[in-house]
A and B are shown apart, each in its own frame.
Chain A
Amino acid sequence: MRRVVVTGLGMVSPLSDSVDGTWKRLIEGHSGAGPVTLFDTEGFPCKIGCEVKLGDGSGDTFNADEWMLPKEQRRVDNFILFGVAAAIQAVRDSGWEEPGEEECLRTGVMIGAGIGGLRWISDTSIVLHERGVRKVSPHFIAGSIINLASGNVSIKYGFKGPNHAAVTACSTGAHSIGDAARIIALDDADVMVAGGAEASICGIGYAGFCQAKALSTHYNDDPTAASRPWDKGHDGFVMGEGAGVVVLEELEHAKKRGAKIYAEVVGYGMSGDGYHVTAPAPDGNGGYRAMEAALKRAGMTAGDLDYINAHGTSTPVGDPIEFGAVKRLLGEHASKIAMSSTKSSIGHLLGAAGAVEAIFCIKSITDNVVPPTLNLHERAEGCDGIDLVALEAQERQVKAALSNSFGFGGTNASLVMREYNGD
């Protein structure tokens, strides 16, 4: 199989409109959480979230006009806007903005979302109900369905290779990168722009997750304390929004054009729980098997890992189950590794989470720093024996990192990224 490396990174997050801005603030221990401003939370048990901070582009704010013309912005839901912005960053970073015609045929796009244009779907349903069919935007369908993040990026650059989009809830971003890497490994493309995007902070999004008892509800007065993976006080996840996109490339292709190589994607494992629509299997076997499969594909053992970016959503059900699965996987190596949940800082970006967190793994490899788990003061029961990088980032040599993503429906994906040492 052909080897696949990462040559470009892009991100829109609740902390910043860039990878470097997000990474800097993440390592410094900032939180992206605050009161929800995107809709009126009156009557909602959860009133907080990690919103992308809109602004003029200064001070880590996101300026939509930098990424899409105003008339284009009106035609797409924000998840597409964020996905396109992250893709532009990644493509620029990789130096792949103007490949030739033949190269465009070998360049594909795979940017997924967990839910897609939920806010626009919700708003349009009200328009239809109150004002009738003739008031529905002709751009509504093409601006809210999930594969249109990939579609818009493909159209913008003329990338005519495989055009695809994963939809696997909170595993979307990881599945996208893993599947896109396989598309390259199997020689169906040389370059893939891959990742996830999400913007589901809206009334029905919160109503649905609140009714599923999935969101944090006890920290409305102290938003930055709400996302606290593995801490005794965890009480549900905090929703985030944004996008993470990487440029994946066949190794020789990248070397030939002298591209900057961040890391190699060496392992990808998938599994299904076969258990419940929202709850993970109590013995954690789904997550365990995904991690095991990713390591097997990488030709590595658990002892080769230096850092794990956990799914770690800050739910009392999910946190200890994942912790147990990781501990079982690591065995005697448990004491040597660092594991953290960056959802403590940026919240849970749903379909974008796996992609954003894979980028954090890559940054931990290039910078030899692991990001912290914020708000972890007192460990929940059953969460002892692994360094969870509580409260502050740590300098650590990271040669290999694993990222976990688990989604509703019992869909699990693990990615292993390794330092590229020039061989």
Chain B
Amino acid sequence: MSEIADKVKKIVVEHLGVDEDKVTDTASFIDDLGADSLDTVELVMAFEEEFGIEIPDDAAEKIQTVKDAIDFISANS
């Protein structure tokens, strides 16, 4: 697993308080990991902080699964 994927999953585990094994690539933050709309904003902020990037609102809206996040960050960092 790539370094980015590792870091993304760690952030998701910490922020959503979910078990590591539930954080699969296809897991949806809202449908599978119990996040609400405020949690997703917080997650995007954590990704920005960790990877030193800016995720614009329209891009953030499209980040709905763990893989979405990994792909966006891989392409933009």
Chain A positions near chain B (C-beta within 8 angstroms): 69-71, 75, 134-135, 137-139, 142
Contacts and interface: CB of A to CB of B under 8 A. Distances in A.
Interface in B29-77: 38, 41-42, 45, 48, 54
A128 to B, nearest CB: 14
A137 B15 CA distance: 13
B17 A139 contact: no
A80 to B, nearest CB: 15
Contacts, number: 20
B14 to A, nearest CB: 8
B16 interface: yes
Nearest to B43: A138
A71 B38 contact: no
A344 B17 CA distance: 41
Contact of A134 (B14, B15, B38, B45): B45
Interface in B1-25: 14-17
Contacts of A137: 42, 45
B44 to A, nearest CB: 9
A212 B14 CA distance: 42
Q: Taking each of B15, B16, B38, B45, which has the highest tally of chain A beta carbons within 10 Å of its own beta carbon?
A: B38
B35 to A, nearest CB: 10
Nearest to B54: A134
B38 A138 contact: yes
Nearest to B48: A134
A142 B38 CA distance: 10
A138 B17 contact: no
Contacts of B41: 138
A292 to B, nearest CB: 48
Interface residues of B, number: 10
A422 B17 CA distance: 47
Given A134-B45, A135-B45, A69 B38 contact: no
A101 to B, nearest CB: 23
Contacts of A135: 45
Contacts of B15: 71
Contacts of B16: 71
Contacts of B48: 134
A70 B15 CA distance: 9
A156 to B, nearest CB: 15
Nearest to B18: A71
A82 B12 CA distance: 27
Given A134-B54, A135-B45, 16 more contacts: A69-B17, A70-B17, A71-B14, A71-B15, A71-B16, A71-B17, A75-B38, A134-B45, A134-B48, A137-B42, A137-B45, A138-B42, A138-B45, A139-B38, A139-B42, A142-B38
A134 B54 CA distance: 10
A60 B38 CA distance: 34
Q: Taking each of A137, A138, A142, which has the highest tally of chain B beta carbons within 10 Å of its own beta carbon?
A: A138
A68 to B, nearest CB: 11
Contacts of B17: 69-71
A134 B48 CA distance: 10
Nearest first, the 9 closest Cβ-Cβ pairs linking A and B are A71-B17, A138-B41, A138-B38, A69-B17, A138-B42, A139-B38, A70-B17, A71-B15, A71-B16
20 contacts: A69-B17, A70-B17, A71-B14, A71-B15, A71-B16, A71-B17, A75-B38, A134-B45, A134-B48, A134-B54, A135-B45, A137-B42, A137-B45, A138-B38, A138-B41, A138-B42, A138-B45, A139-B38, A139-B42, A142-B38
A134 B47 CA distance: 12
A71 B38 CA distance: 12
Contacts of B45: 134-135, 137-138
A157 B53 CA distance: 40
Nearest to A75: B38
B33 to A, nearest CB: 11
Q: Taking each of B17, B48, B54, which has the highest tally of chain A beta carbons within 10 Å of its own beta carbon?
A: B17
A298 to B, nearest CB: 45
B22 to A, nearest CB: 14
A75 to B, nearest CB: 8
Nearest to B57: A134
A77 to B, nearest CB: 15
A134 B45 CA distance: 8
Nearest to A69: B17
